[in-house]
Amino acid sequence: MDVLRTVISAQGAAKELQKPDIEQAIAMTAVMATGLAAAYRHSRGEEPIEPRDDLGHAANCLYMAFGEVDERKAKYLDSYLVLLADHGMNASTFTARVVASTNSDLCSAVVAAIGALKGPAHGAAALEAMNMLEKIGSPDNVEPWMRAALDRKEKLFGFGHRIYRTDDPRAKILRPLTSEANPDFYAIASKGEEVALRLLHERHPERPQATNVDYYSAGLLAAAGLPKTFFTLAFATSRVAGWTAHVLEQVKLNRIIRPDSEYVGPEPHPVRPLREREKAPTA
């Protein structure tokens, strides 16, 4: 994510301040996919690969990363990119809109959004879901592992959502896709979903618990060929379409975003005049 943030920052470093427009938004969406692929190549000590003008967006991203075209993997990545492109006023989108509201440029807004997405509470859930399922190891180990984790007050990643009080509709689409794309992952994940929802409802029946988009995203991104350390970059590569759309909406009828705050600290205390205070000792 640091590499991606730096790549996007460099894009705007040599340009004059411009009002964001649709052409810049399209270019930024392309640059993000190129940045993901280049970061992957760089992590392996390999030279970047130039994009091809005969490939679609997802296929080009994978071609620039791996040097080959696999239509099946491109389909999986494309589905992911579409499903996660936008999701309301989440933390990174709000960050992008705040920056845009100051009449700053598109690169600055996207760099700020990447900084927000880098935070694990926002952008790392698919990675954490994959880590969890790898630790579980097999369908037979799902229930004892999850029971022990909950006894230790640990979180089960991929369940619950701040907005949805029922099933995440994106998860409903990702579930059958992952079953097709990554059967080994799905064997553990589907058992994990069944057990996790049952245990969570047993322990906290008052809380709405359902599978969220990140749970099966992990398996689909792995099927597309991406290592888990690049899942958050894939998230950014998808969400940039939403970020830039929000920026364009913000600047169309712009008003600077200036949230109110309320002081809830201790009451002010009297301040003694300087002449009534003891002088500090001198050396």
Q: What is the pLDDT of residues 79-133, one digit of tens each?
A: 999 999 999 999 999 999 999 999 999 999 999 999 999 999 999 999 999 999 9
Q: What percent of the chain has pLDDT over 70?
A: 96
Note the maximum CA span of the chain.
80
Which of 118, 219, 207, 120 lies closest to 164, judged by CA?
A: 207
Q: Predicted confidence band at 168 (pLDDT cuts at 50, 70, 90)?
A: confident
Residue 119 corresponds to which tokens in the numbers above? 């935070």
What's the rounded Cα separation, in Å, for the pair 48 and 60?
A: 13
- Is the pLDDT confidence value at 161 over 80? no
- Domain annotation for the chain: domains and CATH numbers: 2-121+230-252 (1.10.580.10), 125-223 (1.10.230.10)
Which of 211, 40, 222 lies closest to 131, judged by CA?
A: 222
Q: Predicted confidence band at 282 (pLDDT cuts at 50, 70, 90)?
A: low
How confident is the model over 204-230, as pLDDT tens digits?
888 878 899 999 999 999 999 999 999
Q: What is the pLDDT of residue 112?
A: 97
Q: Catalytic residue numbers?
A: 161, 214
Q: What is the pLDDT of residue 51?
A: 95
Q: What is the pLDDT of residue 12?
A: 86
261 or 166: which leads in pLDDT: 261
Q: What is the pLDDT of residue 162?
A: 67
What's the rounded Cα separation, in Å, for the pair 66 and 179?
A: 24
Region of residue 173 (left: phi > 0; alpha: psi -120 to 50; beta: else): alpha
Rg of the chain, C-alpha, whole Å: 23
